[in-house]
Amino acid sequence: MKLESVLSNLNQVEKNKFINVVDNLIQENNISKKYDQIKQATNNEIVALFKQAKPYFEEYLLEKLSYINPSISILTDILSRDGNSVARVSWIESLYHKDIERLEAKVKELSTIRSTETDLLTYEGRMNVYFSCLKEAYNNDIRNNQEPKINDDERSILNVLSDKLDINHDDKVVLEYMVRPCCKQSAISDYLNELRCLGILFIKNKEQTVYVADEVVEILNSIKGKAISDKYLIRVLRTLSDAELSNILKSQNQRIRGVERVNKINNIVHLGLDVKKILSVYMFNDSASQNERKERLKLLIDDLSIETKTIGTTVESRIDIIIDSLKDISKIESNVLSSAGYDECLEKLNEYFNQEKSKDFFYDLVREQFEIESVEKIDSSKLRQLSITPYDILYIVDNDDIKAIAKFFGLSNRGNVRESIIGSFNDATDKLIENYNLLANRDVNSLNAKGLNLSEAEIGTKFEEATRSILEQLGLNVDEELRAEVNTSKDKADLIISTSNDDVIIGEMKTHKGGGYGSYSSVARQTKSYVRLCEQHGKNVTQVLVIAPDFTDDFIEHAELDPDINISLLEAQGLYDIYEVYKNKKNPKFSVQWLQKGGLLKHSLILKRI
């Protein structure tokens, strides 16, 4: 979840620790004089200030985290993993204890390191060297009658040493745990509060939920030397051959005999290896020439469907292209499907796995891969909250299963199969939009003739889905996360558009058969209850937008004269015409302000401004 979205979910008290950290960095480094009081800044302004302070924030965290106890280090590892950026405190606590158990089991495995001879030709010998240096860096403070710690300079030297000795991240964590084990008596809430004071996370007190913004996760990964997140590393590994996966594991002294492909991938991810070393050294046979490595990376760029003007002339430049492309890909993929299309994709994938594996196998796979708590529903709202895209989901599925899924969906196995699967759900949404006016008018017979076999009960829901998709494609922030949070079992808003800061537009969609829609009292009652719900969540409703096939004169008059709420009315055909013109323009523009004029909106005027 982006920082702005996180801030919009919190009250002022819950933001204060983060704001204080950013404020101090601004003052110390004379970054911006625009806002004397950052606490009075809007969420947008706070995000802008954070962007300016980001390099200093990373330096600040690098220094602070060097001095902090190992429990905090384990927690930052957990919080920066895919799927853990929004989670209940109790779930983070359970993940923490699970990691401690794993570390203690690994400590027993590596306990012989202490007595291993210092032989740089063996992995165990190199670990012994690193362990001895780590122990010295930690304990030298005791001789000086100081609190034992590893400072920033020592950490930098240890990082270079581990890199030169080729010690993987997982073993580094275990060796450090051997030198300075965690205190088991302190409460996790104390550690989380420390991280909150550092500006790393937010805690929503009412729900006891932890939030870590995507921008902060990126910084934590950078501090840990992780060029890309695990979900992107998985994409790379999925494209490699079994022999290449085995080469990576062999380079780390890991078992490969009898290990299935899916477990090889998971084991490599867990080792925390540098992706640059994977792509330049580990995946290749020792005898591979530079030209062979360059050619293999060229194929990898194609396999990952990376669009680039140049592919580089060296191994290093081609690796940089792969890493930079994967870092930027989330911007492209975040809205590749509408919310309805994403949900339908998840449902169909679950349907396939229910048939081929076992009930809820797919949802369990998603939970396991992204460490999502069992009480959480796996849907587009939750996954988008965690910045997990449809492509991220498809890449946790094995290549053989992906081919079988394509066949199950009636798709070809040629080309990029994952792209074809996602494209098929775009087609379904497109078909709803193409028949938008028929949905609005509840024309069942015409819909059936067009191949949309919908029941009367389904038409309203599909009209809402199509409307949300249209508005998303017009570039508006259709906030499904907020809608899920605000809605109750009794009152369910059809649409929430986040505009700026804490301002939102509430949308109500009405299908109607024959004549103009005229039930104003019903709409007014519903929308006023939605306004109250939004206000209870700290949101300011600036406008109510009602979309219907047509409106009666009485309805329009009541909307224009309503003293309590600002209501804009938009005819369904008008919205569809706006969408069509926008889609076909070379450089279209659309402003949310055009929906906030009040009364019956003249779509013909909007068309001229797109």
Best CA proximity match to 569, nearest among 517, 530, 610, 532: 517
pLDDT in tens, 153-175: 888 899 899 989 988 888 888 89
Q: Are residues 204 and 232 in the same domain?
A: no
pLDDT at residue 265 above 80? Answer: yes
Tokens 């997990």, residue? 388
Lookup: tokens for 4 = 């702005």
Q: Which residues contact 195 (CB under 8 A, 6 or more apart)?
A: 72, 75, 76, 79, 201
pLDDT at residue 601 above 90? Answer: yes
Query: 318 lies in a domain?
Result: yes
Which has more confidence, 132 or 151? 132
Lookup: tokens for 81 = 């993993």
Structural domain count, the chain = 4
Q: Are residues 400 and 479 in the same domain?
A: no
Query: 468 lies in a domain?
Result: no
Q: Are residues 75 and 169 in the same domain?
A: yes
pLDDT of the residue at 33 = 55
pLDDT at residue 544 above 90? Answer: yes
Best CA proximity match to 221, nearest among 366, 61, 70: 61
pLDDT in tens, 288-310: 999 999 999 999 999 998 988 88
Query: 464 lies in a domain?
Result: no
pLDDT of the residue at 144 = 83
Query: 441 lies in a domain?
Result: no
pLDDT in tens, 352-410: 999 999 999 999 999 999 999 999 999 988 998 899 999 999 999 999 999 999 999 99
Query: 27 lies in a domain?
Result: yes
Strands 202-204 and 477-478: unpaired
Beta carbons within 10 angstroms of residue 309's beta carbon: 5
Q: Are residues 204 and 136 in the same domain?
A: yes
Q: Are residues 4 and 101 in the same domain?
A: yes
pLDDT in tens, 111-149: 887 777 777 888 888 999 999 999 999 888 888 888 778
Provide the β-strand partners of residue 204. Answer: 209
Q: Are residues 51 and 134 in the same domain?
A: yes
Q: For residue 232, what are the CA distances in angstroms to 75, 173, 237, 346? A: 21, 22, 9, 20
Q: Are residues 368 and 263 in the same domain?
A: no
State the residue range of the domain holding 26: 1-226
**Of 407, 434, 461, which marks where a domain is finished?**
434
Domain with 481 in it: what CATH number?
3.40.1350
Query: 440 lies in a domain?
Result: no
Q: Are residues 6 and 22 in the same domain?
A: yes
Query: 400 lies in a domain?
Result: yes
**Of 201, 226, 251, which marks where a domain is finished?**
226
Q: Are residues 393 and 345 in the same domain?
A: yes
Tokens 């929430």, residue? 496
What stretch of H or E contains 497? strand 495-498
Query: If DSSP states are collapsed to H, E and C, what string results for 4-40?
Result: HHHHHCCCHHHHHHHHHHHHHHHHHHCCCCCCCCHHH
Q: Are residues 75 and 191 in the same domain?
A: yes
Helix/strand/coil for 504: strand
Query: 444 lies in a domain?
Result: no
Q: Are residues 294 and 348 in the same domain?
A: no
Q: For residue 452, what are the CA distances in angstroms to 19, 381, 448, 497? A: 51, 25, 5, 28
**Of 208, 226, 244, which marks where a domain is finished?**
226
Q: Per-residue confidence at 278, pLDDT binned at 50, 70, 90? A: very high
The conformation of residue 180, written as its DSSP 8-state character, comes to S
Q: Are residues 300 and 349 in the same domain?
A: no
What stretch of H or E contains 217? helix 214-223
C-alpha count within 13 angstroms, C-beta hemisphere, residue 485: 19
